[in-house]
């Protein structure tokens, strides 16, 4: 797809995996998670792919060497928003759209990324979040909507109150943004939250507050947005692959 850049976040250690191996290097049915994401991205044929690495950066470079990606290093892992900022030096003058993917969401399909971009472009939006509704929304970030039904902000599970925890619509960690608006909002995020991290999710509330239009693409196939954070999540991802 023309004029599309993709950022993949893959710098985190993956503390909840309880393993020394960087999370995105864990194999799902014999293929490292990050390679599965890159295989999928290839099908979207974006203009450029930026891979944000940090924890075990050298190993990730080695394993992904056959892919055409530009690496950006996040020296300290201070959060998903901070991770995206690592790409700012190379992207700040880019006028097109940027898709953000997570290296720990291995079952996402290319057609969904294409649908996300198509909806974003048709809707004349500044940002779009891929979401699903789950019976058991677990520890995912929650999508908070206003009375009119528009997205207002995203709240992380750990920072959510009881009412917000009851929200069933969750953030997949997959987005499309107007690049300039994204970096403008990122400059305003703070780390005043339970994890003391710079959350990418906070840009949604900041953009909405500035009058920007944020849309959602809600999909039914929850497996596509299944995020792998611990050993049990990894098993579930493996079970979902039929090859």
Q: Which does 103 bind (CB under 5 to 8 A by kind): Mg ion, ligand UD1, none?
A: ligand UD1
* 127 touching ligand UD1, by CB under 6 A: no
Rounded CA gap, 37 and 44, in Å? 11
Both tokens of 169, joined, read 């619509």
Fill in the per-residue mask, 10 to 29: x = in contact with ligand UD1 (CB under 6 A), - = not in contact. xxx----------xx-----
Rounded CA gap, 61 and 163, in Å? 42
Rounded CA gap, 86 and 72, in Å? 6
Find all residues with CB under 8 Å of 194, minimum gap 6, and list them. Answer: 156, 158, 159
List 49, 170, 182, 186, residue binding ligand UD1 (CB under 6 A): 170
What part of residues 76-135 is at the interface with Mg ion (CB under 5 A)? 104
Stretch that binds ligand UD1, among 90-98, 118-126, 193-201, 211-219 (CB under 6 A): 193-201
- Nearest Cα to 33, choosing from 23, 42, 41, 43? 23
| Beta carbon nearer to ligand UD1, 46 or 141 | 141
- Asked if 145 is an active-site residue, the reply is no
Dihedral sign (CA 127, 131, 137, 140): negative
Both tokens of 54, joined, read 């940090």
* 156 touching ligand UD1, by CB under 6 A: yes
- On whether the CB atoms of residues 165 and 140 are closer than 8 A, the answer is no
Stretch that binds ligand UD1, among 65-73, 99-107, 123-131, 207-215 (CB under 6 A): 99-107
* 233 touching Mg ion, by CB under 5 A: no
* 175 touching ligand UD1, by CB under 6 A: no
List 32, 54, 141, 227, residue binding Mg ion (CB under 5 A): 227
Interface with Mg ion by CB under 5 A: which residues?
A: 104, 227, 229
Residues with catalytic function:
16
């Amino acid at each position: 797809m023309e004029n599309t850049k993709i950022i993949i976040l893959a710098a985190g250690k993956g503390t909840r995996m309880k393993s020394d191996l960087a999370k995105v290097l864990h194999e799902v049915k014999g293929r490292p998670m990050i390679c599965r994401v890159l295989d999928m991205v290839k099908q979207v044929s974006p203009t450029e792919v930026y891979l944000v690495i940090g924890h075990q950066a050298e190993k990730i470079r080695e394993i992904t060497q056959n892919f055409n990606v530009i690496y950006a290093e996040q020296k300290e892992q201070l959060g998903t928003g901070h991770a995206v900022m690592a790409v700012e030096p190379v992207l700040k003058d880019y006028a097109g759209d940027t898709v953000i993917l997570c290296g720990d969401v291995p079952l996402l399909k290319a057609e969904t990324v294409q649908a996300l971009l198509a909806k974003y472009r048709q809707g004349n939006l500044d940002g779009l979040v891929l979401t699903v509704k789950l019976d058991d929304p677990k520890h995912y970030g929650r999508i908070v909507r206003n009375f009119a039904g528009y997205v207002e902000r995203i709240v992380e599970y750990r920072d959510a109150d009881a009412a917000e925890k009851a929200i069933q619509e969750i953030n997949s960690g997959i987005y499309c943004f107007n690049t300039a608006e994204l970096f403008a909002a990122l400059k305003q995020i703070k780390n005043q939250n339970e994890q003391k991290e710079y959350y990418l999710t906070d840009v949604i509330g900041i953009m909405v507050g500035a009058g920007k239009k944020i849309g959602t693409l809600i999909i039914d196939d929850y497996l596509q947005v299944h995020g792998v954070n611990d050993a049990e999540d990894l098993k579930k991802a493996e079970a979902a692959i039929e090859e």
